[in-house]
Amino acid sequence: GESVGLHLPTLSVQEGDNSIINCAYSNSASDYFIWYKQESGKGPQFIIDIRSNMDKRQGQRVTVLLNKTVKHLSLQIAATQPGDSAVYFCAESSGTYKYIFGTGTRLKVLA
């Protein structure tokens, strides 16, 4: 069933195109960031993380960019596929093992 927010900002992307999902974080002292993917009825799935001493990190088809100056994080998904449809949200931590989560963005992949 639908267990994730109904009124989230939505990004609609054509299959095969690249997706960019943005996140503004709140704490300038945060030094660790994670991106999660949550499909309907499932728990959040770890995608990729980045520490504040980096400004870019790449994974398989995903890239995370960190701009500490404006406290902004983005997740880029290359060649978006139908299976990428989900809610994506970021989390930040300031080294105290306390995590703050964003509200999320719904990604819809159009065939």
Partner 1 sequence: EAGVTQSPTHLIKTRGQQATLRCSPISGHTSVYWYQQALGLGLQFLLWYDEGEERNRGNFPPRFSGRQFPNYSSELNVNALELEDSALYLCASRADGQGASSEKLFFGSGTQLSVL
Q: Minimum Å distance from CB 79 to partner 1?
A: 26
| Nearer of residues 3 and 14 to partner 1, judged by Cβ | 3
Least Å from the CB of residue 54 to partner 1: 11
Kindly tell me which of 43 and 83 has the beta carbon lying closer to partner 1: 43
Find the binding residues for partner 1 in span 49-88 (CB under 8 A).
49, 51
Counting residues that bind partner 1 (by CB under 8 A) gives 28
For residues 106 and 12, the answer to whether their CB atoms sit within 8 Å is: no
Among 13, 19, 25, 44, indicate the residue that binds partner 1 (CB under 8 A).
44
98 sits near partner 1 (criterion: CB under 8 A): yes
CA distance linking residue 53 with residue 63, whole number of Å:
16
3-state secondary structure the chain: CCCCCCCCCEEEEECCCCEEEEEECCCCCCCEEEEEEECCCCCCEEEEEEECCCCEEECCCEEEEEECCCCEEEEEECCCCHHHCEEEEEEEECCCCCEEECCCEEEEEEC
Least separation in angstroms between residue 32's CB and partner 1 is 5
- Residues lying near partner 1 in the complex (CB under 8 A) are found at 1-7, 32, 34, 36, 41-46, 49, 51, 89, 91, 93, 97-99, 101-104
